[in-house]
Amino acid sequence: MKKNYYSRNYVLAVCTLLTMLILVLVGGMVTGTDAGMSVPDWPTTFGENMFLYPIDRMVSGLLVSIPNHLANDLDRGVMTEAVQNSVSVDENHLSEMAKIRVVKPGEVWKITDSQTHRSYTILSQDGQLGVYVHGVLLEHSHRLLGSLVGLLAIATLVSVWLSNQQGLLRWLSVLSLITVVIQGILGPQDPLYHHGD
């Protein structure tokens, strides 16, 4: 009987470890592609249950094309009502806290909204202005993987304690779960939005 408990503990611990490694890799991709906070709310996804959010709405890429004459407002870094209305489509709404940063005059602008924790890139390509949002699928997948790691850490802890393991293994399973919980609390905070950029 004890042998089954030990093998279940081993399988759960290995699954937790492998899932954590995948989570770290995906987290690196989120950071490397500047996709952090492309989903502005947590623990929901655009106000909906994150576990039931439809995959066909996890769209990254061109959000909307906007009128070319808005390039003048963008170059001045002015958030006009026309710019705000043009970018605010579907679940994407710019608040009055949104700011424009000119990356390359006449070509590239970045809009960050500290209230909704959302960022957009506006590009001028082939004479057309396009508003792009990126990283929604990547960021959402990262959150789902984080939830899976949390569930596996809980399952490992319960399995270890039910199997009457003694000593260090029990406390390592507790430490593992505490670490996952702390990371889960700290994870949704994006320091980029605390610098007023």
Pick the range with the lowest mean pLDDT from 53-57, 64-68, 110-114.
53-57
Pick the range with the lowest mean pLDDT from 4-8, 101-105, 118-122.
4-8
Average pLDDT over residues 169-179: 88
Tens of pLDDT, residues 185-197? 776 554 433 333 3
Residue 21 CA to residue 65 CA, distance in Å, equals 39
Average pLDDT over residues 144-170: 88
Query: What pLDDT is stored for residue 6 in this prediction?
Result: 60
Average pLDDT over residues 152-161: 91
Highest mean pLDDT, choosing among 15-24, 38-47, 58-67, 177-186 = 15-24
Query: What pLDDT is stored for residue 153 in this prediction?
Result: 93
Query: What pLDDT is stored for residue 192 in this prediction?
Result: 38
Tens of pLDDT, residues 28-50? 888 877 777 677 677 888 778 88
Tens of pLDDT, residues 124-155? 888 889 888 777 888 888 999 999 999 999 99
Residue 80 CA to residue 87 CA, distance in Å, equals 11
Confidence of residue 19 (pLDDT cuts 50, 70, 90): very high
SS3 133: strand
DSSP characters over 30-58:
HHHTT-TTSS-SSSEETTEETTT--GGG-
Q: Is residue 64 exposed (0-12), middle (13-18) or buried (19+ Cβ within 10 Å)?
A: middle
DSSP state at residue 154: H
Q: Which strand (E) or helix (H) includes residue 119?
A: strand 118-125
Residue 48, beta-bridge partner list: 45
Enumerate long-range contacts of 34-37, CB under 8 Å, 24 or more apart: 34/119, 34/134, 34/135, 35/60, 35/134, 35/135, 35/136, 35/138, 35/139, 36/135, 36/139, 36/190, 36/192, 37/117, 37/118, 37/119, 37/139, 37/188, 37/190, 37/192, 37/193
Q: What are phi and psi of 191, to 5 degrees?
A: -65, -20
Instruction: Compute the mean pLDDT over every residue in the chain, rounded to the nearest whole number.
Output: 81
Tens of pLDDT, residues 60-99? 777 788 999 999 989 999 888 888 888 887 667 788 888 9
Query: What pLDDT is stored for residue 2 in this prediction?
Result: 52
Please give the C-alpha separations between residue 85 and each of 88, 135, 156, in angstroms, as whole numbers.
Answer: 5, 22, 49
Structure pTM? 0.64
